[in-house]
Amino acid sequence: MNKLLTFGAVTCAAFAFSVPALAEPVAKPDPKLVVVISVDQFSANLFAQYRPVFSGGLATLAREGIVYPNGYQSHAFTETCPGHSTLLTGKHPNKTGISANDWYDLTTGKSVYCLSDPTSPLANDPEGRSVSPRNMVATTYGDWLKAASPNSRVFGVSGKDRGAITMSGHHADGAYWYVPGYGFTTFVPPGDTAQARLKPVAAFNAKITADLKKHPFVWDYDKSPMDALTGGSAKRCKALEADYETGGRKWRAALPIPVAPDEAGKLRDIGSSPFIDEVSLELAAQLRDAYGLGDGPQVDLLTVSLSATDYIGHRYGTRGPEMCDQMARLDDRLGTFLKSVGKAKGGVLVVLAADHGAADMPERLNGEGYDVERVIAKPWLAKLNTQVRADLGLSWDPLIADGGIDQIYAVGPDRKTPSITDRARIVADALALISRLPEVAGAFDAQALLTAEPAPADTSPEELSLMERMRRSVYPGRTGDIVVAFKPNLVASTPGPAYVSTHGSPWDYDRRVPILFWWKGSTPRERILPLDTVDIAPTIAAVTGVKPPADLDGRCRPLGAGHDC
């Protein structure tokens, strides 16, 4: 795995020689529209691997913008919800309150989704999972912007609710995400109606439905060549086809994806394909046009979280023909999108980052000579429970890890909050056992992390201790009693028919992401020193003259030369 990271660093360093190292001041952007894009699961390694052949929107950003190839999500639990929560709040998950995708509520004995809010049902399905930004205790750049400029408009679009909501914030004019078989939906806060909330996307949803009925989506290799010198993306991607066995299932990594025999399967396949990025970008462009974002005297914000790379990475891995084709399509569609938002009458600042990275599936990496193994959660936790029960003479399983075995909760016989005495005994015994396991790099009592002294503010994300990475992920009442880091290249992931790869560790293959800033007339710069994702929001705030809260973890980084923040 380290060799893979080295390859990415060398590739990025090679690009640095083609970019002028200017020292003179460079005019800063003066945008009326800020566009912030998250490409979910877009690791620095993936960016480095395909950077030489980008020719569309990603090429524009990488060749004309300010490029930080070594950006970081500097917390430990590198999941979608917490990662998105850092992008525009300027705070780590221990201050956003979004510590994981899901957590266990010891008072109710139930698992809680990161954006769960029973008071805000879905516009398309009142019986579905109700969500809102309520659980995010931090404000976003969009919230700061609206407070300073009430006429500013803020919209968020994504393939996931947690991508649209966490980036657009608490007071967005609209946050929409794609539901296969329906179209784009949103949440309905108290006092509002589903019809009113869906009005901005109703016509677009009707168009998607009609188009899919007329031309059902079948995922085959993209016919638009991404790089003529290599013969086009289809030829390059097809060369990656191979046969694999994961979890006892034999399958072939290849396109086209066979058409599913039932409707549920067809919807599942659309949700794990480039289609969701395509429609997300189309809707974002239409919202820009419909509301004239960037055309007025005020600054507007448009956030776009592109979810396909994450879904594809989980289902097919990150380095097969499926991801190769996804990168080609993403590059092409982003090119079209940049031209569309470029129609704004005012200047446009585009920022691109990611909520987390990811490693490839262990089976493919093993075939390439890397010692990557899986840790299967259920038997691992069952063995631990058996030992703790025996050690303490308990009549119940005292440990629960519903959100993943990197966060373990101590429970009483009713699977809820144990007594103070029982918690202390359970945590102490389990922590000692876990810490001695050969597959574990470190395990910590979450309560101790809550009171731990933070790392100095100027500590590089590359130099953070494991304990500090963990501390940045711990939020009281939501994080497990014991937090665990498995050793690098040991992946806590159980393969299934539609799930072969994952992320979530505190290691660099999951933490490192590219961060790019671009505007028309920007001077290309390659900045290889690290940038934290929490630095994005204060940087945008400084450019647009918006005052952020005083308690941010991030700081403004100059887009020109010197210290012009």
Question: Which pLDDT belongs to residue 523?
Answer: 92
283 falls within a domain: yes
Percent of the chain with pLDDT over 70: 94
Question: Which pLDDT belongs to residue 231?
Answer: 56
- Tell me, yes or no, whether 338 and 445 share the same domain: no
* Separation of alpha carbons 83 and 92, rounded Å: 9
CB 344 within 8 A of CB 293: yes
Print the domain residue range for 476: 376-438+440-486
- Tell me, yes or no, whether 347 and 453 share the same domain: no
Q: How many domains does the chain have?
A: 2
- Tell me, yes or no, whether 64 and 194 share the same domain: yes
Enumerate residues 6+ apart whose C-beta is below 8 A from 60: 334, 335, 338, 518
CB 132 within 8 A of CB 202: no
In this predicted model, what pLDDT tens digit does every residue of 170-199 receive, in sequence order? 999 999 999 999 999 999 999 999 999 999
The CA-atom distances, in angstroms, between 158 and each of 161, 164, 226, 361 are: 7, 5, 24, 25
Question: Which pLDDT belongs to residue 24?
Answer: 55
Question: Which pLDDT belongs to residue 565?
Answer: 81
Question: Which pLDDT belongs to residue 233?
Answer: 86
501 falls within a domain: no
- Tell me, yes or no, whether 381 and 335 share the same domain: no
- From 76, 43, 93, select the one nearest 485 (Cα to Cα): 76
Mean pLDDT of 529-548: 97
pLDDT of 48 over the 60 cut: yes
pLDDT of 59 over the 90 cut: yes
- Tell me, yes or no, whether 40 and 63 share the same domain: yes
CATH number, domain of 137, equals 3.40.720.10
In this predicted model, what pLDDT tens digit does every residue of 297-339 receive, in sequence order? 999 999 999 999 999 999 999 999 999 999 999 999 999 999 9
- Tell me, yes or no, whether 285 and 146 share the same domain: yes
Question: Which pLDDT belongs to residue 520?
Answer: 94
In this predicted model, what pLDDT tens digit does every residue of 208-248 receive, in sequence order? 999 999 999 999 999 764 444 445 789 999 999 999 999 99
- From 84, 73, 109, select the one nearest 307 (Cα to Cα): 84
Question: Which pLDDT belongs to residue 17?
Answer: 40
Whether residue 533 lies in the annotated active site = no
557 falls within a domain: no
512 falls within a domain: yes
pLDDT of 457 over the 70 cut: yes
pLDDT of 134 over the 60 cut: yes
* Separation of alpha carbons 45 and 133, rounded Å: 31
What amino acid is encoded at 33 in this protein?
A: L
pLDDT of 19 over the 50 cut: no
Left, alpha or beta for 47 (phi > 0: left; psi -120 to 50: alpha)? Answer: alpha
Which of these is catalytic: 11, 60, 78, 80?
A: 80
Q: Under DSSP, is residue 488 helix (H, G, I), strand (E, B) or coil?
A: coil
In this predicted model, what pLDDT tens digit does every residue of 67-91 receive, in sequence order? 999 999 999 999 999 999 999 999 9
CB 291 within 8 A of CB 152: no
Say which residue, 453 or 3, is predicted with more confidence. Answer: 453
- Tell me, yes or no, whether 357 and 388 share the same domain: no
**Three-point CA angle 195, 84, 310, nearest 5°:** 90
- From 190, 92, 127, 64, select the one nearest 559 (Cα to Cα): 64
What amino acid is encoded at 356 in this protein?
A: H
